[in-house]
Amino acid sequence: MSDPLGRHTNKCDDCKGVGKWLLYGKIYGKFPCPQCKGKGFVVENLDEQIQRKIRCGDILLIKYRLDPIGFLIRLFSHCQWNHVAWFINDHELVELKATKKVITPLKRYLNKWLYKIKLVRPIYISKISLKQAITFAKSKNLHYSYLSIILAFILVKFNLSKYLQRPTCSGFIALCLYTVYWKFNDKNTALITPKDIEMSKIVKDVSYELPK
């Protein structure tokens, strides 16, 4: 059930969807229901709506608006995105940061002043394979130096994957998916960039499921 704005709603428990003030199960005068203000429904919490729509395995493309390192990464990769994170459930993401792999809550990236985001979803992959790939990602214990991420993107820029000492954030997701024989494209998984993920023919844009 949705309201005219497309937000998910539930029938008001107080008035049973009538919109009028009920007393002992009967309409009492012409007073509107105080719970739903006469609408007959209540709009669900926005965070709950977002988390319900986002699926395990969805990928979040991220632009750090105020980060100089992120600017350099976008410069090297010729892409508007400098980071990616992977949903391991409906409210948490696994991501490879500059120095280590972390689990991050979704709410972190909903700040539109700090981040621009886009949501994409891999297709042609079974739920079992996706679960196996995510389990692999969660099992990895990775730690690196801060400057290693800059070096990694420089090597990716010049297709020098054999010298890579660490994966990039997008390369990490590509590697995990490759363990179940799923690839974004024909490139070496170590050379996958956020742009490759965005432009892949086997992911679809589901950004409409993000808040406006």
Mean pLDDT of 24-36: 61
pLDDT tens per residue across span 95-121: 999 889 999 999 999 999 999 999 999
What local confidence, expressed as pLDDT, does residue 201 receive?
Answer: 95
pTM: 0.72
* 61 or 154: which leads in pLDDT: 61
Residue 5: pLDDT band (50, 70, 90) is: very low
SS (H, E, C) 70-139: HHHHHHHHCCCCCEEEEECCCCEEEEECCCEEEEEEHHHHHCCCCEEEEEEEECCCCHHHHHHHHHHHHH
Q: What is the pLDDT of residue 2?
A: 46
Q: Could you tell me the pLDDT band of residue 70, with boundaries at 50, 70 and 90?
A: confident
Mean pLDDT computed over every residue of the chain:
82
Host H or E run for residue 10: strand 9-11
